[in-house]
Amino acid sequence: MSRIIYYYQTFTSLKPLLLKDTVVTHIHLSSIHFGKNQDNTPYIHLNDHPPNDKIFNNMWNDIKNANNLGIKIILMVGGAGGAFQTLFSDFETYYDLLKKTINDNKCINGIDLDVEEPVSIDNIKKLMNRIKADFGKDFIITMAPVAYALQSDTTGMGGFCYKDLYKSKEGLLIDYFNVQFYYDFSVESYNKVIDNGYPENKIVLGATSDMDVTNMQNIVKQLYSKYGMNFGGVFDWEYFNAGNDKKNPYKWALDMKNSMIDYNNYCIIL
């Protein structure tokens, strides 16, 4: 089944999508960072606060309810704010904080490694192996490269070649790529990634909320028509202002779902 994914960093209510027959498949909860307090003790933050801060009580309640409906909850690490250089500067210390956060929140089904700062590929491999060892084979690992890093075998923002990672034994641990097609959201751009050796069922088409929804629907429809249920899916950054109806961001997910219909095998009974 093709994925329909929201990134979730501005913690408005998830209630509009908390439906028994919700079409949302994954929520990527954003974003984890690491650092040092004024007294030099290490911290882990979800955005600007510890993940267990009471400011997140309503958010965690919504996330648990979403998970109970079958939506996979993926914890995003990194992004534009960094995280990985700090993580690898004292790996055991910061990894223990990350592990505790995941263990404390049983609703987390996976981790999204959004590497937007130079790190070594060996450290990424070490992190991936540790995650699988600690959380099991069913724990999801995703990554969020920019499109050009998968369209060619140049280095991405992380300073390493994704093809080298994908072709290694650790590449087998990557469940899917949430690819940032923000600057070239098109059928041609998506196909360039597939033509460069990545399977379509692992490539999710990434959008930002300011994109035209009608155009998005048209592109998703074309890709689904070509790849069918092997199409990796679509994501939006981010939930709170997704789609045209800002009062109901869940409408975006419904629009994407309606664009993924197999019209070749679809008939209307009159």
CATH code: domain of residue 19: 3.20.20.80
The per-residue pLDDT for 262 is 65
Give the number of domains in the chain. Answer: 1
- Check: CB of residue 179 under 8 Å from CB of residue 211: no
Residue 152, C-beta contacts closer than 8 angstroms, at least 6 positions apart: 196
In a domain, 220, yes or no: yes
Of 236, 196, 190, give the one whose Cα is nearest residue 8.
Answer: 236
38 class by beta-carbon count within 10 Å (0-12 exposed, 13-18 middle, 19+ buried): exposed
| Residues 65-96: tens digit of each pLDDT | 999 999 999 999 999 988 999 999 999 999 99
| Residues 203-241: tens digit of each pLDDT | 999 999 999 999 999 999 999 999 999 999 999 999 999
pTM score: 0.96
Question: In degrees to the nearest 10, what's the CA dihedral of 232, 33, 122, 172?
Answer: -20
Of 229, 249, 231, 230, give the one whose Cα is nearest residue 241.
Answer: 249
* Rounded Cα distance, 248 and 258, in Å: 16
| Residues 5-56: tens digit of each pLDDT | 999 999 999 999 999 999 999 999 999 999 999 999 999 999 999 999 999 9
Confidence at 137, pLDDT banded by 50, 70, 90: very high
In a domain, 270, yes or no: no
In a domain, 88, yes or no: yes
Q: What residue numbers bound the domain in which 248 lies?
A: 3-265
Of 68, 71, 53, 57, give the one whose Cα is nearest residue 239.
Answer: 71
In a domain, 253, yes or no: yes
Amino acid identity for residue 47 in this structure: N
The per-residue pLDDT for 33 is 97
The per-residue pLDDT for 267 is 40
In a domain, 161, yes or no: yes
In a domain, 199, yes or no: yes
